[in-house]
């Protein structure tokens, strides 16, 4: 009989080690004899289609999917004990549906390990991570190092002036910042954006 299923959530800013921790969790489970599989959102174009790659270059074979529901379909047709899901905030499913899917998977005694950003570049919580936090068996908040002062980072600062909530990118597009440095850079960002808008008139 399979062990009791768990929901393990790794969250925090970019470059904080969330994906590395996802890799470590699944590796340990695989060594322990669990049948494991990893999934990534189809919109994540940063790495190979069939790989999850951490910022320290750890690789994990992964299946690219459009919706969390695809994982349910996989679990119905394959024997699996533990599932890893990277960048959960990128999936288009409603948070309530993702929670519903996760509960169905755990009822099948499948452990779920999730990594995802807790906030967007404007420091607004991602709804799905906010919904998963209270039902998680284990919740780990990771911190990167602030790119400006070296303190624990709090959020991912976007370097461009793109206003879309989701913009796929890495170090060329984002940097981790502590709360104080983030507030300073966001103030400068707004000032520069307004200056650019005036010059375009």
* Known catalytic membership, residue 127: no
Tell me which of 48, 59, 79, 87 is the catalytic residue: 87
Q: Are 95 and 127 in contact (CB under 8 A)?
A: yes
Locate 109 and state its tokens.
């005694």
Cβ contacts of 43 within 8 Å, gap of 6 or more: 90, 166, 168
Print burial letters for 95-106: b (CB count within 10 Å at least 16), e (below 16).
beebbebbeebb
Helix (H) or strand (E) holding 192: helix 179-200
Structure token pair of residue 153: 């980072």
Q: Which residues are catalytic?
A: 87
């Amino acid at each position: 009989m399979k062990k009791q299923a768990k929901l393990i959530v790794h969250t925090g800013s970019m470059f904080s080690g969330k994906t590395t921790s996802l890799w470590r969790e699944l590796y340990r489970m695989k060594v322990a004899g669990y049948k494991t599989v990893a999934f990534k959102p189809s919109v994540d174009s940063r790495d190979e289609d069939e790989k999850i790659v951490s910022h320290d270059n750890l690789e994990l074979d992964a299946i690219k999917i459009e919706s969390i529901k695809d994982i349910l379909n996989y679990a119905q047709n394959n024997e699996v004990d533990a599932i890893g899901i990277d960048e959960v905030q990128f999936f288009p499913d409603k948070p309530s549906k993702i929670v519903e899917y996760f509960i169905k998977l755990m009822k099948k005694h499948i452990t779920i390990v999730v990594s995802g950003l807790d906030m967007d570049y404007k420091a607004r919580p991602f709804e799905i991570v906010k919904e998963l936090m209270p039902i998680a068996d284990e919740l780990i908040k990771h911190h990167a190092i602030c790119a400006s002062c070296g303190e624990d980072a709090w959020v991912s600062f976007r370097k461009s002036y793109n206003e879309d909530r989701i913009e796929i990118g890495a170090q060329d597009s984002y940097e981790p910042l502590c709360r104080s440095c983030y507030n300073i850079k966001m103030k400068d960002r707004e000032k520069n954006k307004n200056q650019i808008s005036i010059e375009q008139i």
